[in-house]
A and B are shown apart, each in its own frame.
Chain A
């Protein structure tokens, strides 16, 4: 296997060893394979693309062919220690409902998304065009991303629903953190990772 994307390695640091995990939009299963190897997690991935499903199966990763927009009603409340979703939030019909469902099914949630507040995005929009950036390489008419948000938008949503932000990692497009991002996160972060917990009440 090629070297793991740094953001996925970072997620590994947030996952307690031996836990039970559900990975939404698991792709070819790279994260689950990494977590199984380094964290001895058990779990399943949900994936909609048949080629990815076949790739997971061929790699020995537990994968369930499913459409995230159909929700998580098949999974019991508190069935998993973690529910993880990397870079799928912005492609969902109702990302707010899916995150709420993730918080029902999992004790903790890890979600990552591209920051639409990044300066490249703003620059493109100031020029009057939809952004084409390294993090958002598709054209407006063929992108899968239908619900893009900024860091500020996402954190406002967390506040509105009372979701606790346990940790966040704000990275550039090479998945590194840095002083610029620390100084002005919503301008310089390209990839955001959040670890959430459901409201205490």
Chain B
């Protein structure tokens, strides 16, 4: 994997350069929360940086709802779009690939090459489609632990994730306490609220009620529920930005230059154009069955439920040190949700720091190179690197 250093306009640090994804075959059977067992599965992954001799400097990146294994770098010299968290991962960046060996993967059930609804079910020779089991955050952690085994990593220096990724980080700390030293939980929540579930349900209904959905067997019908998936993504994007950020970015600007209303339902306001663009580009790269499954994983995530509804009791078995980060304009998983996590960790007598970042966008800020945010990540991870002698 070439590690060409190139200037990064976002701030300090360079790019990991051209990266090559690979498929990791996991041959150990994986029993899922739903009761079904996958005899084997494949996960797509990318790695950046070098694993040290002690195998102590590995960081696992957990992705959010629509993320994948392409977290950093580019695929070709003329590739204009780097990985989804390229702002934070690279040489000299907060997740410093000069010091850490970074592993990013596409979760089980994903649609970017890992075993999921779009891959072939070996038992039938057909794509899984809607027959792919609904997986949970706990299942993902089990699957990711098998990846760690395959890579020879007994203990992650840190597991890091934002949003749904942050949920995986918490589950890691609870389910595999001895296998990570640090847990970085960013823009997450200890469980989905009724409002979160409500938004997810509307997104799912948009997909399921699309006439092209065919009960999830749209591939067999040579079509896909584009309208539903587009609507779902448009809805999602509203929750990723704050009211204030939307006002600042779009306001009531009209697309047409003359400032007159057109008295029809074509794209008219800039925000409509933005949402339609985001929705459409998502349809081109994402699978509807995976979207359904991912939203369900969010809804089901609830580590407190496994411990008498007591989050502190769930964290009592954790051994990792925590960094919790929230963004003040985030209303999808607001800072008060992060404080619930922090409060439970304090009750559980765990080491935890909490940074509230003054943020312009909202939930989406966890992907942005905000100076205050990156300063916190950099400061924390720099100590982690010292600790593991990276």
Pick from B347, B354, B375, B383: contact of A63, CB below 8 A: B354
Q: List 27 A-B contacts (CB under 8 A).
A: A20-B349, A42-B349, A44-B346, A44-B352, A50-B356, A50-B358, A50-B372, A53-B356, A53-B376, A54-B355, A56-B353, A57-B323, A58-B379, A58-B380, A58-B382, A61-B353, A62-B351, A62-B352, A62-B353, A64-B352, A64-B353, A65-B355, A66-B354, A74-B342, A74-B343, A74-B346, A79-B347
A119 within 8 A of B: no
Pairs of residues from A and B, 8 with the lowest C-beta to C-beta distance, nearest first:
A58-B379, A65-B356, A64-B354, A54-B375, A57-B379, A74-B343, A63-B353, A57-B353
Distance in Å: Cβ of A152 to nearest Cβ of chain B? 36
Question: How far apart sit A158 and B346, CA to CA, in the bound complex (Å)?
Answer: 29
Q: How many A-B residue pairs have CB under 8 A?
A: 55
Residue among A53, A56, A66 with the highest chain B CB neighbour number at 10 A: A53
Distance in Å: Cβ of A28 to nearest Cβ of chain B? 12
Distance in Å: Cβ of A14 to nearest Cβ of chain B? 22
Question: How far apart sit A64 and B353, CA to CA, in the bound complex (Å)?
Answer: 5
Secondary structure call for the A interface: mixed
A-contacting residues, B363-390, CB 8 Å: 372, 375-376, 379-380, 382-383
A-contacting residues, B111-128, CB 8 Å: none
- Chain B neighbourhood of A75, CB < 8 A: 343, 346
14 further interface pairs, Cβ-Cβ under 8 Å (given A62-B352, A65-B356, A74-B339): A42-B349, A50-B356, A50-B357, A50-B358, A53-B353, A54-B355, A54-B376, A54-B379, A55-B379, A57-B376, A58-B383, A61-B353, A74-B346, A76-B347
Distance in Å: Cβ of A51 to nearest Cβ of chain B? 8
Distance in Å: Cβ of A47 to nearest Cβ of chain B? 10
Secondary structure call for the B interface: helix
Question: How far apart sit A37 and B7, CA to CA, in the bound complex (Å)?
Answer: 41
Residues of chain A at interface, number, CB under 8 A: 21
- Chain A neighbourhood of B376, CB < 8 A: 53-54, 57
A79 touches B346 (CB 8 A): yes
B interface residues (Cβ-Cβ under 8 A, vs A): 323, 339, 342-343, 346-347, 349, 351-358, 372, 375-376, 379-380, 382-383
Question: How far apart sit A56 and B353, CA to CA, in the bound complex (Å)?
Answer: 9
Question: How far apart sit A76 and B312, CA to CA, in the bound complex (Å)?
Answer: 12
B347 touches A64 (CB 8 A): no
Question: How far apart sit A133 and B94, CA to CA, in the bound complex (Å)?
Answer: 42
A60 within 8 A of B: yes
Pick from B339, B342, B343, B380: contact of A57, CB below 8 A: B380
Residue of A nearest to B382 (CB): A58
Distance in Å: Cβ of A33 to nearest Cβ of chain B? 13
Distance in Å: Cβ of B365 to nearest Cβ of chain A? 14
Residue among B343, B346, B352, B358 with the highest chain A CB neighbour number at 10 A: B346
Known A50-B372, A74-B339, A76-B347; contact A65-B382, beta-carbon cutoff 8 A: no
Question: How far apart sit A42 and B352, CA to CA, in the bound complex (Å)?
Answer: 11
Distance in Å: Cβ of A73 to nearest Cβ of chain B? 10
- Chain B neighbourhood of A65, CB < 8 A: 354-356
Known A64-B352, A64-B353, A65-B354; contact A54-B372, beta-carbon cutoff 8 A: yes
